[in-house]
């Protein structure tokens, strides 16, 4: 699987750091102690700046100034109004094209979000950070103190994740991402439609809003408490193998047509790709070591964990960046949220169905 981490030829390292634990791709810098924001920026290769520069296009067919004829060998440049290139200043790589109102948020400024949190809680630790592509996207994760505890020994660590880009695509996003230790699953939840993330557009107020985004911490404290209560309840709710298969089938349905076929039991209309995917999730649900815990084996919490576990431990993606996007914002998140609603309803009614 491609990792898409930036390789810095000057340092001979990939732009990524991790504390203590070696990442799956075996690249980047491994450090023993949790770094300060200044150290994290250096370890992750984030110590570069980005500029907005005027954008030009060349014209091969201008009138030659000497004789007034059309001359396709005479090159000139035409300014492109209201558009700019974002350029990484150390390598001169063009990272993207943006409009006149686009505000660059430097990598060091992205850490101001975390620094504003750390000022209020010294137990928050920078754990990973990195650069993707040529430098057009960066990401940072920080570990929060304490755990969400399911049963006696099933622990969920709490993280805040931030990502931003320099190519004009996407907002600055800070998100709460609980991760179940035993299988490294990000347990995205839709508890009472509570937002678990903050998005900030690249406008003139972006940096100031970023500094104020520690309001996310107030959201995470409440969300973590709700998740602990709910997941502990689900860990005591039993679900049969048939109900589990029905739940997975509905949760993984890619369209209304597939849902209709399931409801009408017209299984011959279902694609082989979809059926194989359901079988893969079922296999993970029944056989994965993470599914053999007291809290997960034959339980509703295990059913929920099977979907999230499939996307993070079984399904293949074209790159680690694609996997990240799927889990935090894309198909992986959508399937997890559908599963959450199914589990919530099953806990109340004992029936597998969407409201």
- The DSSP-derived string for 157-201 is EEEEEEEEESSS-S-EEEEE--EETTTTEE----GGG---EEEE-
Same domain as 242, residue 210: no
Confidence of residue 197 (pLDDT cuts 50, 70, 90): confident
Query: 2 pLDDT exceeds 60?
Result: no
Query: 244 pLDDT exceeds 90?
Result: yes
| Type and span of the H or E element at 128 | strand 125-132
pLDDT of residue 1: 42
Query: Which residue(s) pair with 86 in the sheet?
Result: 52, 96
User: Is residue 40, in this structure, part of any structural domain at all?
Assistant: yes
Residue in this structure with the two tokens 């029944």, named with its chain if needed = 286
Task: State mean pLDDT over 13-40.
Answer: 79
Query: Which residue(s) pair with 125 in the sheet?
Result: 143
Point out the least confidently predicted range of 16-25, 125-134, 196-205, 310-319.
16-25
Looking at the structure of the chain, the number of domains it has is 2
Same domain as 212, residue 342: no
Cα torsion at 39, 40, 44, 49 (round to 10°)?
-80
Same domain as 265, residue 154: no
Read off the tokens for 59. 């014209």
Confidence of residue 94 (pLDDT cuts 50, 70, 90): very high
Confidence of residue 351 (pLDDT cuts 50, 70, 90): very high
249: three-class secondary structure by DSSP: helix
pLDDT of residue 53: 95
Query: 25 pLDDT exceeds 60?
Result: no
User: Is residue 83, in this structure, part of any structural domain at all?
Assistant: no
pLDDT of residue 60: 61
Same domain as 209, residue 260: no
User: Is residue 63, in this structure, part of any structural domain at all?
Assistant: no
Query: Which residue(s) pair with 295 in the sheet?
Result: none
Same domain as 320, residue 271: yes
Same domain as 248, residue 117: no
Domain boundary among 190, 207, 231: 231
Beta pairing, strands 185-186 & 172-176 = unpaired
Query: 344 pLDDT exceeds 80?
Result: yes
| Type and span of the H or E element at 141 | strand 137-150
Same domain as 252, residue 145: no
Domain boundary among 215, 231, 247: 231
Domain boundary among 196, 231, 266: 231
Query: 268 pLDDT exceeds 90?
Result: no
Residues 6+ apart with CB under 8 A from 199: 171, 172, 173
Q: Which of 13, 329, 302, 23 is nearest to 173 (CA)?
A: 329
Angle at 125 between CA 9 and CA 173, to 5 degrees: 70
Same domain as 339, residue 201: no
Query: 247 pLDDT exceeds 70?
Result: yes
Same domain as 136, residue 18: yes
Query: 293 pLDDT exceeds 50?
Result: yes
Same domain as 246, residue 156: no
Point out the least confidently predicted range of 198-202, 271-275, 305-309.
198-202
Cα torsion at 339, 345, 349, 352 (round to 10°)?
-30
Q: Which of 159, 192, 222, 182 is nearest to 302 (CA)?
A: 182
pLDDT of residue 200: 84
Burial of 151: CB neighbours in 10 Å, binned 0-12, 13-18, 19+: middle
Query: 169 pLDDT exceeds 60?
Result: yes
Q: How far, in Å, are 51, 181, 234, 293, 327 from residue 307 at the CA level?
A: 42, 16, 15, 16, 11
pLDDT of residue 230: 94
User: Is residue 57, in this structure, part of any structural domain at all?
Assistant: no
The model's pLDDT over 39-78, given as tens digits with 9 standing for 90+, comes to 989 999 999 999 999 998 876 655 555 555 555 555 677 8
Same domain as 256, residue 205: no
What does pLDDT average to over the chain?
84
- Domain with 301, as residue range(s), is 237-349
Percent of the chain with pLDDT over 90: 38
Confidence of residue 272 (pLDDT cuts 50, 70, 90): very high
pLDDT of residue 186: 80
User: Is residue 243, in this structure, part of any structural domain at all?
Assistant: yes
Confidence of residue 261 (pLDDT cuts 50, 70, 90): confident
- Tell me how far apart the alpha carbons of residues 124 and 143 are, in angstroms, rounded to a whole number: 6
- Tell me how far apart the alpha carbons of residues 302 and 287 are, in angstroms, rounded to a whole number: 12
User: Is residue 156, in this structure, part of any structural domain at all?
Assistant: yes
Query: 330 pLDDT exceeds 60?
Result: yes
Same domain as 208, residue 254: no
């Amino acid at each position: 699987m491609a990792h898409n981490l930036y390789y810095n030829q000057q340092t001979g390292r990939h732009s990524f750091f991790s504390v203590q634990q070696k990442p799956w791709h075996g690249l980047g810098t491994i450090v023993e102690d949790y770094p300060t924001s200044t150290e994290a920026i250096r370890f992750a290769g984030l110590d570069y700046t980005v500029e907005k520069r005027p954008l030009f296009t060349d014209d091969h067919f201008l009138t030659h100034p000497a004789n007034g004829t059309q001359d396709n060998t005479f090159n000139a440049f035409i300014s492109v109004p209201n558009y700019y290139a974002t350029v990484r200043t150390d390598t001169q790589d063009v990272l993207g094209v943006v409009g006149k109102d686009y505000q660059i948020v430097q990598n060091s400024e992205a850490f101001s979000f975390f620094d504003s949190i750390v000022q209020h809680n010294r137990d928050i630790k920078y754990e990973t950070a990195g650069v993707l592509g040529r430098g057009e996207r960066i990401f940072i994760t920080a570990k929060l103190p304490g755990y969400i505890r399911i049963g006696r020994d099933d622990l969920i660590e709490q993280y805040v994740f931030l990502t931003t880009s320099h190519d004009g695509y996407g907002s600055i996003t800070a998100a709460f991402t609980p991760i179940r230790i035993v299988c490294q699953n990000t347990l995205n939840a839709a508890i009472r439609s509570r937002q678990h993330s903050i998005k900030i557009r690249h406008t003139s107020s972006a940096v100031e809003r970023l500094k104020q985004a520690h309001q996310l911490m107030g959201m995470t404290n409440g969300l973590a408490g709700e998740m602990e209560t709910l997941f502990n309840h689900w860990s005591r709710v039993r679900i049969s193998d048939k109900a589990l298969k029905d739940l997975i089938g509905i949760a993984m349905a890619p369209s209304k047509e597939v849902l209709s076929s399931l409801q009408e039991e017209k299984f011959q209309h279902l694609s082989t790709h979809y059926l194989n995917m359901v079988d893969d999730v079922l296999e993970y649900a029944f056989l994965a070591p993470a599914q053999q815990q007291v809290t997960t084996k034959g339980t509703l919490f295990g059913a929920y964990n099977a979907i999230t576990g499939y996307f993070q431990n079984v399904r293949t993606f074209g790159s680690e960046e694609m996997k990240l996007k799927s889990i935090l914002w894309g198909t992986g998140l959508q399937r997890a949220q559908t599963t959450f609603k199914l589990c919530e309803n099953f806990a109340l009614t004992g029936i597998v169905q969407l409201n």
